Every structure is written in structure tokens, then in C-alpha cells.
Amino acid sequence: MALKIMLNKNHFNTYRSVIKIEQYFVVFLAIFCFFISLTAYSEEILKGDVINIVDGDTLDVQVGLNKYRIRLAEIDAPEKNQPWGHEAKHSLASKILKKEVHIIVTDKDRYGRQIGRIFIGQTDINRSMILEGHAWAYRQYLQNKNLIEVETKARQAGIGLWHSSDAIPPWDWRRGKRNNLSTVKKAKQSLSSNSVRSPKN
């Protein structure tokens, strides 16, 4: 009888050990999944000095030994060869060139640029560029719908690029320039083809 009780006790202890191992495994698995999800959804934050302004929505920042090209998220400033392009670039430079900034990186584009929101202290530079009439809210990639209201205020006030009633959004400008270049190229090819076919005198 004593032997039977001892065997039952040993069996119970073994069972309890197995249960504890399973419980530890479940807890470990839950913690592991939590950190994986945290990594997947967290936003990278860069802190560095702005060393170059490319245009009204693109810049280079030095972070330690690394240099990053940053594209401002959710805004689209005029191209360099577009009306107000120079003014937009100058405005961005006056705000952040040679200054330390914090960048919340939200994505990476097909050109390898980091896309992010830039801050100096509590100032949201992306929002400021729209508010002061130096950029559009970029509809195609917009997450913060409030930026359209910010753009509307600048438009109604007629400040920055909005002093002109026929301001062209950069995405339309880029499309138009590509179409124009394509038309010119086709025209040149047509002229070249006609000259080859024309008989000599």
C-alpha cells in the first residue's frame, strides 16, 4: 500500500512538473510574440544634424557616422524647376539646415529614402511647410487628414504658393513634364525618320 501511494505521489509530481513547463512555455511564447509585434509596428526615431537641403520636401541628415536622405512624409513641395520651388527649398533650409532634428521614420520609398516626420523641439516641420504655403498635403500618401484643413487655411489666406490662383500640384507638374518630354522625343524621332525617307535632290 505504501509503495502504491509513493508511486501515485511520484506520478503527481511528474505531472505537476510537466504542467509548470507548459505554463512557462506559454508565458515565454506570449512575451516573444509581444516583442515581435512591438518591433513590427514601432516607428524608428532618428536624431541628427541636417547637412543639406535638396528641395522643399527632401533633405540629408547626419546621424553619427551614417548619412540618411529623408523625404518629408505626407507633404509634396513644388519641384525645383516649378514655380515656388526655390522659395519652398529656402523656407525648409531656414527652418532646419545645420540644426539638430528628430525624425519619426514611417516608411521607405522606392528610391531608398527614409520617409518621416521631422521635429525641432515640439515643432512639426512637415505641418509648418503646409501651413506657411510651401507645400501641398500629399493626398496619395496622406494619413493625417487634418493636413488638408491646414492646407485650406493657407490657400484661403493666399500665402506662399497660394498667392497664385493657378498653382499646379507637384504630382500634376511631374506628370506633365514627363508627357512633354515624351512628346518632344516622339517629334524628334518623327523628324529624323522623315529626313531619312526623303529623296535626295
Instruction: Give the Å distances, CA to CA, from 159 to 42, 57, 74, 129, 185.
Output: 36, 18, 20, 11, 37
Residue 74 a catalytic site member = no
Instruction: Return the closest-CA partner of residue 44 out of 122, 104, 126.
Output: 104
Say which of 113, 139, 155, 174 is annotated catalytic: 113
Instruction: Return the closest-CA partner of residue 61 out of 99, 106, 4.
Output: 99
Residue 113 a catalytic site member = yes
Alpha helix ranges (H) inside the chain: 2-41, 85-96, 125-131, 146-157, 170-197
Phi-psi map region of 119: left, alpha, beta (phi>0 left; psi -120 to 50 alpha): beta
Say which of 71, 74, 117, 127 is annotated catalytic: 71
What's the sign of the alpha-carbon dihedral 74, 123, 147, 129?
negative
* In contact, 36 and 27? CB cutoff 8 Å: no
Residue 149 a catalytic site member = no
Reduce the secondary structure of 71-111 to three states and give it as a string. Answer: EECCEECCCCCCCCHHHHHHHHHHHHCCCEEEEEEEEECCC
Say which of 79, 117, 127, 151 is annotated catalytic: 79
Active site residues: 71, 79, 113
